[in-house]
Amino acid sequence: MENYLSVLNPEQRQAVLHWGKPLLILAGAGSGKTRVITTKIAYLVRERGVDPRSILAVTFTNKAAREMAERAQLIDSRAAEAMIRTFHSFGAWFLRRNGALIGLDSNFVIYDDDDTVTLLSSIMPNTTRAEAAKVAHHIARAKDYFLTPDDPELALIDHRPQFRNIYKLYEERLKAIGNVDFGDLIKKPVEILRAFPEVRQRFQDRFQVILVDEYQDSNVAQFELLKELYTSQTYLCVVGDDDQSIYRFRGAEVRNILEFPDRFSETDIIRLERNYRSTAPILAVAGAVVDNNQGRLGKTLQAERGNGKLPTLVFLPDQETEASFCAELIEKSLRSRGGTYSDWAILYRTNAQSLTFETELLRRHIPYKVVGSLKFYEREEIKDALALLSIMVNPRDEIAFKRVINKPARGLGQVTIDKIIEAASHAEPASRGNLLESCRNILPELSKKARNGLEGFLRILAQSRSMITTEGDVCKNSSVASDRLTAGDGLSALIVYILEASGIAEYHATEDEIAGTQRLSNLQELANAASLYPATEEGLAEFLEHIELDRSLESGEESNDSVTLITVHNTKGLEFRKVIITGLEQGIFPRDDKQDEDLEEERRLFYVGVTRAKDELYLTTCALRRMYGRASYNQPSLFLSEIPLDYIKILGQIPRGFKSGPKSASICDPSLHGAGQRDAEDGRLGPYARQLPRAPRTVSSDGLWRIGASLFHDDYGYGQVVRISEGPEGPLIEAQFETGKQVRFLSKYQSERFMRIERDGY
């Protein structure tokens, strides 16, 4: 017994030995929760004599379930007889044995997302597959929240009156077919347990011990299942971390863990607060931010590894400088202190932010990998956008033509597409290979639907060509209004127009709503990148050439020793020696639309990102970032203002008005604090100070203007100063207005026409 319990710390040991009342194990990041739950399974079998067949342990991934089973069996082989499954695997097992009670054959098939969309398309014959996919997503979410077609709260999922009827028809058709979807694997077992008391009693008698891992990720339906299996005689133990509940968009309900002590009487709570991953200063930053959440049970992580290097907060002028700083930081660290590229991870809020980092790392020949997503130029939506541009400038590009000619569907079959390509290859020399000319020639042979679709495609490409001139006057005769994408400077308007007019934006917007894939964000980032190029034929050629050069650099073999680029969501469960969390600005992280519970989840997401770091942590924020095709001024993230200055080192120029959290009692060596102190070296700190580009001027030399200042103009409305430069005639001010208008003016001539509105105590 002592052999396998001796490796546990006192709190872990207490959790393993606990018995009797319900138990909530609040397991902080890096506190060894997997060891606890697997050891507990073996302990119950080995020492308490619990029949392993009476143990049910559930988690959320097959990988976690396998790991749990393997580690428990290493301690006692009899643990192999315990039921260790994912929630959905348990639900399928249950229905195979009890589904007949509700008319479900044991050989039912589990419908995946595509099957569900196909079934809904037959129920809604006059709608597109994209619309059917949206409805499928809403039905899945309704089942996560255990809502039936008749439930009054269904309107919270989809307020349209017809949704309730479609959901009801879908359930009737699914039952008639005799199959189930993934939501049914949780929902139907609950319904059976409630409708058949003898079945409920049988399962309650069988499973005397119920263990749940990652409980903070459970949804409402999973809680209802747990509630039906539980009795006062059941030993119930859940393990989770309320501070790491970050999957609300998937249906996870943080209240399941927050309200566990209220829902199960006499619950004991054991906190695992000893962190074996990170150093004390890193945990201090994580704790300072997450402590601001109201919805948490509370715990304070203690660093078993002791003190270490203070985290560094870096104020940077723009996103290009941010990418350059990250690359330089990695290179210099490897040169001066050794280590490997794989020590480093660059974190960001959305996949779209990877482009700037990928571009910089490629140019410096720094190997990298994108985790949880394809590299930027390998993503489907980006390939689609580039194919449209390519066929527009080169009508002989057969690969690009095949990719987008019938995407989204325009009524063109494969036979017609092959005929177009064949005709182009045998055309007169002057137009040989010109696929667009071949399209025009075949129009009279097509059906009305196909002809209309192809004519529309040709018209869009022609209109796109007309949007660029030798002078760069873009969009004189074209509308780029869009609810999805925003046009800005340079070529960005062309990108937005062609994506919207072609239907590609709408096509991928549907994917976003269903799967949260952030495809629109990636398309917007492509438009942002295009804003740096003039709206001319030469500018478009240069833009496409730049992309091709980057893609060719990408094509090399991926090294095992590489920097990790990853969204903060995808870092859950991972760890890295050195972490850089980027894009810490209001509107980026957290997003502007996040309030109340959503803002608290964003704060938990920041906490997850910080606690991935073992040895070093860097936080970056930019004064200017290209968003919606324009350079926009951004305030530093709210989360940065919640970190006491004595917890961090600072590089770069602190924006005026930036306020940090209150100076807090030290949890690590006082000699490591005092980061608010500044070097004589241009106000910067640390070994990378000389590599930092100078921040742009933030206050005009005449003292009248500062970056971020609000102003008003009779013609343009309210705006904000986004850039200040000095010229021969004094300060040159650039302002962006709420109408989208950007204006430059010389301070000495225009200061009276622009009313300054000082805010925030400046």
Query: In the 8-state DSSP scheme, what is residue 352?
Result: G
Residue 658 in any domain: the answer is no
Residue 586 CA, chain-centre distance (Å), reads 16
**Among 392, 535, 401, 400, which residue's Cα sits nearest to residue 465?**
392
Gyration radius (Cα) of the chain, Å: 29
Residue 551 in any domain: the answer is no
**Among 508, 580, 582, 493, which residue's Cα sits nearest to residue 543?**
493
What CATH number should be reported for the domain holding residue 160? 1.10.10
**Among 398, 396, 393, which residue's Cα sits nearest to residue 538?**
393
| pLDDT tens digits along 622-649 | 999 987 777 888 899 999 999 999 999 9
Which amino acid, residue 660?
S
Q: Which residues of 284-303 are buried (b: 16+ CB within 10 A; e: fewer)?
A: bbbbbbbbebeebbebebeb
The span from the CA of 626 to the CA of 611, in Å, is 29
Residue 471 in this model has a pLDDT that exceeds 80: no
Which amino acid, residue 330?
I
**Among 254, 331, 273, 217, which residue's Cα sits nearest to residue 36?**
273
SS3 448: helix
User: What's the mean pLDDT in 250-260?
Assistant: 93
216 plus 81 within the same structural domain: yes
What percentage of the chain exceeds 70 in pLDDT?
88
Residue 559 in this model has a pLDDT that exceeds 90: no
**Residue 29 is labelled as binding a ligand:** yes
| pLDDT tens digits along 299-337 | 999 999 999 999 999 999 999 999 999 999 999 999 999
| pLDDT tens digits along 731-755 | 888 887 766 677 778 887 665 566 6
**Among 598, 622, 630, 596, which residue's Cα sits nearest to residue 719?**
630
**Residue 28 is labelled as binding a ligand:** yes
More confident residue, 227 or 631: 227
Average pLDDT of the chain to the nearest whole number: 86
Token pair in block for residue 369: 């990998």
- pLDDT level of residue 713 (50, 70, 90 thresholds): confident
Which pLDDT value is given to residue 514? 56
SS3 746: strand
More confident residue, 602 or 487: 602
Angstrom distances, CA of residue 209 to CA of 178, 221, 526, 564: 33, 20, 53, 40
Which pLDDT value is given to residue 593? 72
Residue 404 in any domain: the answer is yes
Tell me the DSSP string of 7-23. TS-HHHHHHHH--SS-E
490 plus 350 within the same structural domain: no
- pLDDT level of residue 343 (50, 70, 90 thresholds): very high
- pLDDT level of residue 759 (50, 70, 90 thresholds): very low
449 plus 508 within the same structural domain: yes
Using CA atoms in the order 152, 156, 158, 161, what is the torsion angle rounded to 10 degrees? 40
74 plus 200 within the same structural domain: yes
Residue 32 in any domain: the answer is yes
**Which of the listed residues 179, 202, 225 is the one where a domain comes to its end?**
179
pTM: 0.77
Q: Looking at the DSSP assignment, which residues form a beta bridge with residue 84?
A: 57
Lowest mean pLDDT among 123-127, 195-199, 612-616, 714-718: 714-718
482 plus 604 within the same structural domain: no
350 plus 402 within the same structural domain: no
Residue 467 in this model has a pLDDT that exceeds 50: yes
**Which of the listed residues 627, 651, 675 is the one where a domain comes to its end?**
651
Residue 513 in this model has a pLDDT that exceeds 90: no
Lowest mean pLDDT among 149-153, 389-393, 645-649, 727-731: 727-731
Residue 670 in this model has a pLDDT that exceeds 50: no
More confident residue, 409 or 273: 273
Residue 151 in this model has a pLDDT that exceeds 90: yes
**Residue 456 is labelled as binding a ligand:** no
SS3 58: strand
Residue 555 in this model has a pLDDT that exceeds 60: no
The span from the CA of 735 to the CA of 719, in Å, is 6
- For the chain, what is the domain count? 5
CA 87, 88, 89, 92 dihedral sign is positive
User: What's the mean pLDDT in 191-196?
Assistant: 98
| pLDDT tens digits along 238-247 | 999 999 999 9
What CATH number should be reported for the domain holding residue 455? 1.10.486.10
| pLDDT tens digits along 579-597 | 999 999 999 999 877 788 8
Which pLDDT value is given to residue 667? 34
Which pLDDT value is given to residue 4? 86
SS (H, E, C) 690-709: HHCCCCCCCECCCCCCECCC
**Residue 134 is labelled as binding a ligand:** no
**Residue 621 is labelled as binding a ligand:** no
What percentage of the chain exceeds 90 in pLDDT?
60
SS (H, E, C) 119-140: HHHHHCCCCCHHHHHHHHHHHH
45 plus 73 within the same structural domain: yes
**Residue 686 is labelled as binding a ligand:** no
| pLDDT tens digits along 11-33 | 999 999 999 999 999 999 999 99
More confident residue, 687 or 241: 241
User: What's the mean pLDDT in 85-98?
Assistant: 95
The span from the CA of 526 to the CA of 359, in Å, is 12
SS3 721: strand
**Which of the listed residues 163, 179, 195 is the one where a domain comes to its end?**
179
198 plus 175 within the same structural domain: no
Residue 547 in any domain: the answer is no
- pLDDT level of residue 417 (50, 70, 90 thresholds): very high
Q: Which residues of 657-675 are buried (b: 16+ CB within 10 A; e: fewer)?
A: ebebbeebebbbeeebbeb
Which pLDDT value is given to residue 225? 97
Which pLDDT value is given to residue 686? 35
Which pLDDT value is given to residue 487? 83
- pLDDT level of residue 690 (50, 70, 90 thresholds): very low
591 plus 508 within the same structural domain: no
Which pLDDT value is given to residue 684? 32
Q: Walk across the sheet containing 209-212 and list its strands.
A: 83-86, 55-59, 209-212, 235-240, 23-27, 268-272
What CATH number should be reported for the domain holding residue 635? 3.40.50.300
Which pLDDT value is given to residue 517? 62
499 plus 405 within the same structural domain: yes
User: What's the mean pLDDT in 190-214?
Assistant: 97
359 plus 404 within the same structural domain: no
Residue 377 in any domain: the answer is no
Residue 193 in this model has a pLDDT that exceeds 90: yes
In 349-428, which ranges are E strands?
368-371
Instruction: Look up the domain containing 142 and give its range.
Output: 111-179
- Mean pLDDT comparison of 159-163, 189-193, 298-302, highest-scoring range: 189-193
More confident residue, 144 or 720: 144
25 plus 159 within the same structural domain: no
User: What's the mean pLDDT in 346-371?
Assistant: 93
- pLDDT level of residue 756 (50, 70, 90 thresholds): low
The span from the CA of 356 to the CA of 559, in Å, is 20
The span from the CA of 255 to the CA of 190, in Å, is 20
Tell me the DSSP string of 543-568. HHHHHHHHHHHHTSPPPSS-EEEEET
Residue 693 in this model has a pLDDT that exceeds 80: no
Residue 544 in any domain: the answer is no
- pLDDT level of residue 291 (50, 70, 90 thresholds): very high
Residues with catalytic roles: 33-34, 213-214, 244, 612
Residue 291 in any domain: the answer is no
Which pLDDT value is given to residue 560? 82
